[in-house]
Chain A
Amino acid sequence: MALLEIRNLSVEFETVSGAFRAVDGIDISVDRGDLMAIVGESGSGKSVSMLAVMGLLPWTATITADRMEFNGHDLRTLSGRARRKIIGRDLSMIFQEPMSSLNPCFTVGYQIRETLRLHTSLDRKARQTRAIELMEQVGIPAPEKRLSAFPHQMSGGMSQRAMIAMALACEPKLLIADEPTTALDVTIQAQILELLTDLQDRTGMALILITHDMGVVAETVKRVAVQYAGQKVEEQQVEALFDDPHHPYTAALLSALPERSQDRFLPTIPGVVPGQFDRPQGCLFSPRCQFADARCRAVQPQKASAELGYALCHYPLLHGEPQGKEASA
């Protein structure tokens, strides 16, 4: 059985101007030791779906799902108290802004030991030992000294390492990393990603990496889910995805990578992700899709087969060519 199993997850936010659907019928399934990425532009609902799993969304959000299970617990019916036993221990998360994600009033050591105090039966001394061990594990030099430092005394990369140490404190079964490198310098980004995959490899935990950067995905994960405007549009193993993207959006994203560009000019995807007020009637990607026709604009597409990467498209691509177009036309 999968570690994390989500079927048809939707999240709606109550806003002044009506409900806004940030996540729209997402399926995700993660096995033990899995290493996957969720990719999408800003506003595609990738963080929101994971925050829903963690139970960290504000009360304005309404979460519905056919199934939402983690490690045998039904997250939909779990009480707050029972959920708090799981998150931070078996299921932990690190965030985009390491600098502001650490509490400025407490030392790094306090914040790591706090997690241990909450979820383990270690005594004071053992907690300190474990904290030092964790700091070493995430590659922070002079860990004993660093434990008594305040967050503002550390750099962004160092803060993110401390965040990772905190998240790993209770040896979680699943770590969700929400754009862990976006706010960091390019040189630090690679180090942090390497650290994450290395730790994943050593501890055998599952890792979900949320990112908007296809380049990061290629070097890091095994499996990729692509999200667009709150919907999952494609899911494949990473090599297959890069070889043969089945959804036009994935294809467009990949051709926008500088490494893969063959033209003099870098191709871009015109337009932006639809918001609350300009949601198209048919396929959500149709206004920006180079292959879209009348049917795309009028009818919502269904998921394609596993061989076609579950592509949410009327005419999934095969080696760059839209399939089934002539038949319907």
Chain B
Amino acid sequence: MLSFLVRRLLTFVPTFFGVTLVSFAFIRLLPGDPILLLAGERGVSQERYEQLSAQLGFDQPLWKQYIDYLAGIFQGDLGTSFVTKRPVIDEFFALFPATLELSLCAIVIAILLGIPAGVIAAVYRGKFFDRTLMTTALVGYSMPIFWWALLLIIVFSSGLGWTPVSGRISLMYFFDTPTGFMLIDSLLADQDGAFLSAVSHLILPSIVLATIPLAIIARQTRSAMLEVLGEDYMRTARAKGLPPLKINGVHALRNAMIPVITVIGLSVGTLLAGAILTETIFSWPGIGKWMVDSIFRRDYQVVQGGLLMIATIVMIVNLTVDVLYGLINPKIRKG
């Protein structure tokens, strides 16, 4: 287990440096002169141009720029946004809780619905339940989620008027956000209806974001369960006289979860990609929308810093999944 951990950590390091290199290179490749963009429409004098260039380090050779960039990263400095003039890292941490809140809600929905759906489909293999659930899952898996979001808005927001169209909370509420999680902050603020408002804003984006991971988890759970149900130890469990719920829910599911955990971990990347579309459509002030806006505004420093942070998060999650995989699978734990 320990050597497995160490080996896994060792692959993390070169990948991380590769990611820094990629995000560094991307920005150098983007069209347009960053300094002219920074100066805005009024333009700059030659003198001011050189001054800015020196300030940002653009007059240095590329390799020197990269070294400085790396040095900055290790001091927690990802540069400053051209547009807001605030440090990128501060903006990131200000917006990240919104994305985290949305993603957590989505993954919880996906797990809570996806795993039982997969188990039921496997147990009733080939029957009505199985067919219905798996057809639904395939539709969900094939769903263009930006369209799905618009459909839900048409039905639930404009049609039934149940849910708001955008944002995290109604504008009538104003309070401090110490945790950054609107659900918690609205409870702490203790204003009438604030929590409900936060919940109603969260529902549609969570459903949209959960759709594809939900379908993937349901399909993977089903196939893992089918594999497990044919194993000899399932016969042993039945020979003990265990009730079906225990046989399928404990003996089979515990084994089937091993591949499913991997899939859940891998869907974090899917989730962040989905967050880009979901946040844009629902005007959710998270890092997905922030990245899209920054790309359109050509706010290079933000794109560079955001890319690095997002890739790092994905890598850390993948690492965690691998470790978790080792913990849940006794063959690796003690092997």
Pair A153/B334 contact, Cβ less than 8 Å = yes
Pair A104/B233 contact, Cβ less than 8 Å = yes
Pair A56/B241 contact, Cβ less than 8 Å = no
Task: List residues of chain A with CB within 8 A of the CB of B328.
Answer: 105
Q: Can you name the residue of chain A whose Cβ is closest to the Cβ of B253?
A: A105
Q: Which chain B residues (189-214) contact chain A, with CB distance < 8 Å? A: none
B236 at the interface (CB under 8 A from A): yes
Q: Shortest distance in angstroms between B10's beta carbon and chain A's nearest beta carbon?
A: 27
How far, in whole Å, are A56 and B329 apart by their CA atoms in the complex? Answer: 28
Would you call the interface of chain B mostly helix, strand, loop, or mixed?
Answer: helix
B42 at the interface (CB under 8 A from A): no
Pair B251/A54 contact, Cβ less than 8 Å = no
Given contacts A103-B255, A105-B330, contact A84 B242 (CB under 8 A): yes
Given contacts A103-B251, A103-B255, A106-B254, contact A166 B240 (CB under 8 A): yes
Q: Shortest distance in angstroms between A215's beta carbon and chain B's nearest beta carbon?
A: 25
Task: List residues of chain B with CB within 8 A of the CB of A93.
Answer: 239
Q: Shortest distance in angstroms between A54's beta carbon and chain B's nearest beta carbon?
A: 6
A289 at the interface (CB under 8 A from B): no
A286 at the interface (CB under 8 A from B): no
Pair B241/A119 contact, Cβ less than 8 Å = yes
Pair A104/B331 contact, Cβ less than 8 Å = yes
Q: Which 6 A-B pairs have the closest CB atoms?
A: A88-B241, A88-B240, A84-B241, A100-B232, A103-B233, A150-B330
- Interface size class on chain B is 20 to 34
Q: Can you name the residue of chain B whose Cβ is closest to the Cβ of A93?
A: B239
Q: Shortest distance in angstroms between A101's beta carbon and chain B's nearest beta carbon?
A: 5
Q: Shortest distance in angstroms between A172's beta carbon and chain B's nearest beta carbon?
A: 11
How far, in whole Å, are A54 and B239 apart by their CA atoms in the complex? Answer: 7
Pair A87/B241 contact, Cβ less than 8 Å = yes
Q: Can you name the residue of chain A whose Cβ is closest to the Cβ of B241?
A: A88
Q: Which chain A residues (97-139) contact chain B, with CB distance < 8 Å? A: 97, 100-106, 111, 114-115, 118-119
A315 at the interface (CB under 8 A from B): no
How far, in whole Å, are A152 and B238 apart by their CA atoms in the complex? Answer: 21
How far, in whole Å, are A84 and B237 apart by their CA atoms in the complex? Answer: 11
Task: List residues of chain B with CB within 8 A of the CB of A163.
Answer: 236
Given contacts A84-B243, A152-B330, A153-B334, contact A101 B238 (CB under 8 A): no
How far, in whole Å, are A92 and B330 apart by their CA atoms in the complex? Answer: 27
A89 at the interface (CB under 8 A from B): yes
Task: List residues of chain B with CB within 8 A of the CB of A56.
Answer: 235, 238-239
Given contacts A150-B330, A152-B331, A153-B334, contact A103 B241 (CB under 8 A): no
Pair B240/A101 contact, Cβ less than 8 Å = no
Given contacts A103-B255, A150-B330, A152-B330, contact A97 B241 (CB under 8 A): no
A85 at the interface (CB under 8 A from B): yes
Task: List residues of chain A with CB within 8 A of the CB of B238.
Answer: 56
How far, in whole Å, are A283 and B255 apart by their CA atoms in the complex? Answer: 46
Pair B231/A100 contact, Cβ less than 8 Å = yes
Given contacts A106-B254, A152-B330, contact A85 B231 (CB under 8 A): no
Q: Can you name the residue of chain A whose Cβ is closest to the Cβ of B251?
A: A103
How far, in whole Å, are A93 and B238 apart by their CA atoms in the complex? Answer: 10
Q: Which chain B residues (225-259) contact chain A, with CB distance < 8 Å? A: 231-233, 235-243, 251, 254-255
Task: List residues of chain A with CB within 8 A of the CB of B237.
Answer: 103
Task: List residues of chain B with CB within 8 A of the CB of A100.
Answer: 231-233
- 0/1 string, A148-161, CB within 8 A of B gives 1: 00101100000000
Pair A85/B241 contact, Cβ less than 8 Å = yes
Beyond the given A85-B241, A104-B330, A118-B242, please list 13 additional residue pairs across the A-B interface where CB-CB is below 8 A: A81-B243, A84-B242, A84-B243, A92-B239, A100-B233, A101-B236, A106-B251, A106-B254, A111-B236, A115-B240, A118-B240, A119-B241, A153-B334
Which of B237, B240, B255, B334 has the largest count of A CB atoms less than 10 A from its CB?
A: B240
Pair B236/A102 contact, Cβ less than 8 Å = yes
Pair A97/B232 contact, Cβ less than 8 Å = yes
Task: List residues of chain A with CB within 8 A of the CB of B232.
Answer: 95, 97, 100-101
